[in-house]
Amino acid sequence: MAQLLLVEDDTTFSKLLSNFLGKHGHQIKVCSNLKEAKEALSHNPDRPFEVLMLDYRLPDGNSVDFLKTLRSEGNRTAAFIMTSFHDVRTAVTAMQIGAFDYITKPVNPEELLMVLREALSKGDATGIKTAVKTKTSVKTDKQSLDYIEGKSKISKQLYEYVRLVAPTDMSVIIQGESGTGKEHVAKSIHKLSKRANGPFVAIDCGSLSKDLAASELFGHKKGSFTGALMDKMGQFEAADGGTIFLDEIGNLGYDVQIKLLRALQERIIVPIGATQQVKVDVRIIAATNEDLMANAATGDFREDLYFRLNEFKIEVPPLRKRGEDLGIFIQYFVDKANQELDRNVRELSKEVMDVFQKYDWPGNLRELNNVIKRLVLLSKEEIANSSALPAEMITSMEDQQKPAGSDLKALQETHEKEMIEKVLQEVRYNKSKAAKLLNIDRKTLYYKIEKYHIE
């Protein structure tokens, strides 16, 4: 039985939800706005909430800002956001600041239980995502290799860079949109490096509170500030001999950036309140979805730190630019979901595939994984059809693709582009076969692929 906090202003829905969760043995406190939620969180010290379930739009604000404040105050309770499909982009942002997941409305009961189970099993949304002591943790090692590389030109180049930089001891900046797989890339670099037998420590700087970031990274001495009840070893020391992965590095405060620069340049750290320096041997890999260079130009990020980190830069492409990889990732995530959820989905219907092809995937691989997991969960048959997709996903696709008005040329071009994409997909990007089916020569096909920016 878990202690849950539900923040939802639709009273009918919140009653339904709390009855349903109550029947599954959970204890739910319902609040209808953020002010009440804040009070509930501060008045519940004996039995803390294990999961926060937050509606996105609330009468006194939105839950993403609310969560941001909670995280900056050091609250790490696992949380997920319930949102309409149109707010998915916002939900993706929410995950960057430490929401565990998001769930689209109308909420499907099975899906809700699945997300809740996962949130409970992962525990609190601590800023430290993984602390892999590779020598002892064989299981985590195996999991971290559980990924695929893709076959598109852009993916091949990505992994070529990974293999190139891994054996060196260079600092690396990994840039890419949220959910593109930056952490996977960082782990691959670690695994292929001379440090592979050392620890890989991943820290989500986005969910570290400003006050505690320095202590989390560099440690502290007992009594060095209120709340420092005993000595604490920082993550830099924990990563000694291995790699530290600083995700969302742009979120680190200026004073922490100075300490980080010192750690990079001199390979020493000083725990807060300590008089002794500590030598550390750590490789730094940083990730960001911002333009750090631009932040450095405006003074939001230290330029000297940026240049020191940027010994090598890797761009992880968004899913919409990975062309044929989409099909490969779909298959991979379907197989994974079948295994995890004990389902037997063999294929996705043509309609689902069409939607997937046209959608621009703002949450990238993470969103694809989530959508497929839900699709598989809700599909009892071998073919998953579009009824298991959020209805708005389909309508938004239709609206997005069709050119407005009566522009005949634009309509024809849209149709032509769709047809070429569809045929290319059917023949697995074999251009000769596609040209034959489309009854055009290869040269014309290449011209059109370029014209319509088909990847």
Of the candidate spans 109-117, 216-224, 263-271, 361-369, the one that interacts with ligand ATP by CB under 6 A turns out to be 361-369
127, 179, 199, 219: which one binds ligand ATP (CB under 6 A): 179
Query: Is-contact 41 75, C-beta < 8 A?
Result: yes
Q: What is the DSSP letter of 318?
A: P
Torsion angles phi and psi, residue 4, rounded to 5: -120, 150
SS3 state at 5: strand
In the bound complex, what is the minimum distance in angstroms from residue 81's beta carbon to ligand ATP? 14
Q: Which is nearer to ligand ATP, 17 or 67 (CB)?
A: 67
Question: Within positions 123 to 152, which residues make up the interface with ligand ATP, using CB under 6 A?
Answer: 147-148
50, 87, 101, 183: which one binds ligand ATP (CB under 6 A): 183
Of the candidate spans 120-128, 277-285, 363-371, 390-398, the one that interacts with ligand ATP by CB under 6 A turns out to be 363-371
Query: Is-contact 356 172, C-beta < 8 A?
Result: no
Contacts 24+ apart (CB under 8 A), 37-45: 37/5, 37/7, 37/66, 38/66, 40/5, 41/5, 41/70, 41/75, 41/77
In the bound complex, what is the minimum distance in angstroms from residue 428's beta carbon to ligand ATP? 19
Q: Is 96 in the site for ligand ATP (CB under 6 A)?
A: yes
90, 180, 193, 235: which one binds ligand ATP (CB under 6 A): 180
Query: Is-contact 77 125, C-beta < 8 A?
Result: yes
Q: Which is nearer to ligand ATP, 9 or 177 (CB)?
A: 177
6, 173, 365, 389: which one binds ligand ATP (CB under 6 A): 365
Q: Is 247 in the site for ligand ATP (CB under 6 A)?
A: yes
Query: Is-contact 3 27, C-beta < 8 A?
Result: yes
In the bound complex, what is the minimum distance in angstroms from residue 315's beta carbon to ligand ATP? 12
Which residues on neighbouring strands pair with residue 219, listed in sequence order? 233
Q: Which is nearer to ligand ATP, 205 or 282 (CB)?
A: 205
Among 108, 146, 100, 144, smallest CA distance to 125 is for: 100
Q: What's the N-to-C CA distance of the chain in angstroms? A: 48
Mask for 288-307, x = binds ligand ATP (CB under 6 A): -x------------------
Q: Which is nearer to ligand ATP, 50 or 248 (CB)?
A: 248
In the bound complex, what is the minimum distance in angstroms from residue 14's beta carbon to ligand ATP? 29
Among 241, 243, 274, smallest CA distance to 259 is for: 274
The token pair at 221 is 């001495």
Opening angle at CA 343, ends 180 and 19, nearest 5: 90
Q: Is 367 in the site for ligand ATP (CB under 6 A)?
A: no
In the bound complex, what is the minimum distance in angstroms from residue 395's beta carbon to ligand ATP? 26
Transcribe 86-111 into DSSP letters: GGHHHHHHHHHTT--EEEESSPPHHH
In the bound complex, what is the minimum distance in angstroms from residue 91's beta carbon to ligand ATP? 12
Q: What is the largest CA-CA distance in the chain?
A: 77
Q: Is 176 in the site for ligand ATP (CB under 6 A)?
A: yes
Q: What is the DSSP letter of 288?
A: E
Q: Is 341 left (phi over 0), alpha (psi -120 to 50) or beta?
A: alpha
26, 184, 259, 283: which one binds ligand ATP (CB under 6 A): 184
SS3 state at 211: coil
In the bound complex, what is the minimum distance in angstroms from residue 390's beta carbon to ligand ATP? 19
**Total binding residues toward ligand ATP, as defined by CB under 6 A:** 17
In the bound complex, what is the minimum distance in angstroms from residue 186's beta carbon to ligand ATP? 8
Amino acid at 223: G
Query: Sign of the CA dihedral 284, 215, 121, 134?
Result: positive
Of the candidate spans 208-216, 227-235, 343-351, 365-373, the one that interacts with ligand ATP by CB under 6 A turns out to be 365-373
In the bound complex, what is the minimum distance in angstroms from residue 298's beta carbon to ligand ATP? 22
Q: Is 192 in the site for ligand ATP (CB under 6 A)?
A: no
In the bound complex, what is the minimum distance in angstroms from residue 85's beta carbon to ligand ATP? 20
Q: Is 67 in the site for ligand ATP (CB under 6 A)?
A: no
Q: Which is nearer to ligand ATP, 181 or 242 (CB)?
A: 181
By the criterion CB under 6 A, which residues form the site for ligand ATP? 95-96, 147-148, 176, 178-184, 247, 289, 365-366, 369
